[in-house]
Amino acid sequence: MAKYKDVKEFEYPTRVTLTRALKGLWKEKISMLFHVLMAILLITGLAIDLLGVFLGGWLSSIRTVAHGYVGVALVIVFPIYLVKVIATRRMRMLMATVNYIDFALYALLILSGIAIASANQPWINTFPWLPSALGYFRQIAPTIHTVTTYAWLFISMLFPGGFLHGIATGYMILIYRGKEHEKAEG
Q: Name the site residues for other proteins (rule: CB under 8 A).
A: 48-50, 52-53, 55-57, 59-60, 63-64, 116, 119-121, 124-125, 138-143, 146-147, 149-151, 153-154, 156-158, 163
Nearest distance from residue 130's CB to other proteins, in Å?
12
Q: Is 13 left (phi over 0), alpha (psi -120 to 50) or beta?
A: beta
Nearest approach, Cβ of 93 to other proteins (angstroms)? 24
**What Å distances lie between residue 71 and 47, 103, 139, 174, CA to CA?**
15, 16, 19, 28
CB of 23 or CB of 146, closer to other proteins:
146
| Comparison of 88 and 120: residue with beta carbon closer to other proteins | 120
Q: How far is the CB of 162 from other proteins (least distance, A)?
A: 10
Which H helix or E strand runs over 177? helix 165-185
Q: Which is nearer to other proteins, 52 or 178 (CB)?
A: 52
**Which of 81, 149 has the CB closer to other proteins?**
149
Residue 73 beta carbon to other proteins: minimum distance, rounded to whole angstroms: 19
Give the list of residues 6+ apart from residue 68 with CB closer than 8 angstroms, or none.
117, 120
User: Which among 153, 151, 161 has a CA at the least distance from the CA of 99?
Assistant: 161
For residues 132 and 111, what is the distance between their CA atoms, to the nearest angstrom? Answer: 15
